[in-house]
Amino acid sequence: MSEYLLILVSTILVNNFVLVQFLGLCPFMGVSNKLETAMGMSLATTFVLTLSSVCSYLAFEYLLQPLGLEYLQTITFILVIAVVVQFTEMVVRKTSPMLYRVLGIFLPLITTNCAVLGVALLNIKKQNGFVESILYGFGAAIGFSLVLVLFSAMRERIAFSDVPKAFQGSAIGMITAGLMSLAFMGFTGLVNI
Amino acid sequence: MSVIVTAILALLGLATIFGALLGFAAIRFRVEGNPIVDEIDSLLPQTQCGQCGHPGCRPYAESIAAGGDINKCPPGGEATIQALAELLDVEATPLDSEHGEEIPTQVAVIREDECIGCTKCIQACPIDAILGSAKHMHTVIASECTGCDLCVEPCPVDCIDMVPVDQGLSGWHWHAPKDQNIIATDKLGLVAGMVVEEGNLS
């Protein structure tokens, strides 16, 4: 049980995908202007990351490994992720129009989020089992959501503050992200996994 | 060689299964709006005037789709009733005068020097076609105005006129010639003097 908890703490804080491993930076900079869109993106990413880490694990375990085709993992995972996202979008659109309104525009965007592919590949590299894969994906998504929401809240405040002209806009965003990354370095050594 | 074939077959199989899954999902989870409501809505004039008793054209389209009367739209007039009757295969009935008379398409025009900037017409406009702010002159965006005349009533200084507009290509017609110019050519000489004289007058 404690090792599952360690996986979560490790992926959320210590090896945070955005601020420590620098994966999924485009949505991190792109949709963090508003807290509301950041939350929508976080929800959608949590959903997709968890689901796709399971699916890619299954595809690797039951298709690629028995056939000895481990070297095809990248292209297979891209295929799996794209299909899972597309299928999810269709189902959500049919079954829950309200949820679709919140997540709808973000779902296709996540297909190309490198954190999603990164989680799938790292799961294989770390030889995680089924449950570990789910937790690893879920933890990565929670970590992503955490920093995305924190970062967008900060950017909303920065938007109203008196920023020097040379630093306005994306520049101050980059600097803030860098400082956040430094802050997250403080978690290094908290868990060793 | 067999390794390559296995790889290709594995990917092909995976892609085929996924393609089939997505194809199935596209049919199984198709989102159905009510296509008949869309079609009826596209025939209505989109004035959003509310003269039919519904809060806009789409609610009226929904009520028609549910079996309501098709003769409640004065801005659309007989042409809309005919089109609806054809689409729904029902009897075309004359316009219900309870909801108003058919009038040619109009746009609202604000007499700008009389406008006091009270914003009452802006609040009344169902399609946000009036531009302006408090204590500043307002004006109507003519290309957006649907001629619903909902802004005329609230205006405290009565500075909004409803002006008929040209109907575009479908309603365009030659201007009727002036009476005095219709002269049989063989009589041209006889009345030439009179024409010139009247021409000068007009």
Beta bridge partners of B160: B110
> How many Å apart are CA B147 and CA B107, to the nearest integer?
4
In this predicted structure, what is the pLDDT of residue B23? 92
In this predicted structure, what is the pLDDT of residue B198? 46
Interface test with B, best of A86, A92, A95 (most B CBs within 10 A): A86
In this predicted structure, what is the pLDDT of residue A140? 93
- The reply to whether A167 touches chain B by the CB within 8 Å rule is no
Q: How confident is the model at residue B187 (pLDDT cuts 50, 70, 90)?
A: low
Query: What is the residue extent of each domain of chain A?
Result: 43-159
Give the end of a domain, one of B51, B71, B99.
Answer: B99
- Phi/psi at A159 (nearest 5 deg)? -60, -30
pLDDT in tens, B46-81: 888 888 888 888 888 888 888 888 888 888 888 888
> How many Å apart are CA B140 and CA B132, to the nearest integer?
9
The nearest CA of chain A is from the CA of B35 a distance in Å of: 16
Does residue B202 sit within a domain? no
In this predicted structure, what is the pLDDT of residue B195? 47
> How many Å apart are CA A76 and CA A120, to the nearest integer?
10
- Phi/psi at B7 (nearest 5 deg)? -60, -50
In this predicted structure, what is the pLDDT of residue B180? 61
In this predicted structure, what is the pLDDT of residue B185? 59
| Contacting residues of A for B30, CB less than 8 Å apart | 94
Domain count, chain B: 2
**CA B127 to chain CA centroid, nearest Å:** 12
Per-residue b or e along A5-37, where b marks 16 or more CB atoms closer than 10 Å to that residue's CB: ebbbbbbbbbbbbbbbbebbeebbeebbeebeb
Q: ∠ at Cα A92 (A90, A95), nearest 5°?
A: 105
Nearest CA to A159 out of A181, A183, A176, A182 is that of A176
In this predicted structure, what is the pLDDT of residue B197? 47
Does residue B157 sit within a domain? yes
Cα separation values, A115 from A20, A191, B30, B45, Å:
12, 21, 30, 49
Residue B201 has pLDDT above 50, yes or no: no
Nearest to B29 among A59, A64, A94 (CB): A94
Cβ neighbours, 10 Å, residue A115: 27
pLDDT string in tens for chain A (193-residue length): 788 888 888 888 888 888 888 888 888 888 888 888 888 888 888 888 898 899 999 999 998 888 888 888 899 999 999 998 888 888 877 777 677 767 767 777 787 788 889 999 999 998 888 999 999 999 999 999 999 999 999 999 998 888 898 988 889 999 999 999 999 888 887 766 5
Residue recorded with tokens 């949820």: A99
- The reply to whether B18 touches chain A by the CB within 8 Å rule is yes
Residues B76 and B120 in one domain: no
Residues B87 and B111 in one domain: no
3-state SS of B76-138 is CHHHHHHHHHHHHCCCCCCCCHHHCCCCCCEEEEECHHHCCCCCHHHHHCCCCCEECCCCCCC
- The reply to whether B7 touches chain A by the CB within 8 Å rule is yes
Q: What is the mean predicted confidence (pLDDT) over B15-36?
A: 84
Residues B157 and B110 in one domain: yes
Q: How confident is the model at residue B15 (pLDDT cuts 50, 70, 90)?
A: very high
> How many Å apart are CA A145 and CA A38, to the nearest integer?
8
pLDDT in tens, B118-160: 888 898 888 888 988 888 888 888 888 888 888 888 889 988 8
Does residue B152 sit within a domain? yes
Q: Which two tokens stand for residue A20?
A: 């420590």
* Highest mean predicted confidence (pLDDT) among A10-14, A37-41, B15-19, B110-114: B15-19
Residues B93 and B117 in one domain: no
Q: Which residues contact A163 (CB under 8 A, 6 or more apart)?
A: A172
Q: How confident is the model at residue B202 (pLDDT cuts 50, 70, 90)?
A: very low
Residue B178 has pLDDT above 70, yes or no: no
Does residue B6 sit within a domain? no
> Which domain range does residue B117 map to?
106-164
Q: Which residues contact A175 (CB under 8 A, 6 or more apart)?
A: A167
- The reply to whether A75 touches chain B by the CB within 8 Å rule is yes
Nearest to B10 among A67, A86, A91 (CB): A67
Give the end of a domain, one of B83, B99, B115.
Answer: B99
Q: ipTM score of the complex?
A: 0.71
Instruction: Count CA within 13 A, CB hemisphere, residue A121.
Output: 14
Give the end of a domain, one of B58, B77, B99.
Answer: B99
> How many Å apart are CA A18 and CA A143, to the nearest integer?
8
> How many Å apart are CA A99 and CA A91, to the nearest integer?
11
Farthest CA pair distance, chain B: 104
Does residue B129 sit within a domain? yes
> Is B31 in Cβ contact with A87 (below 8 Å)?
no
Does residue B145 sit within a domain? yes
3-state secondary structure of B189: helix
Q: ∠ at Cα A136 (A132, A142), nearest 5°?
A: 140
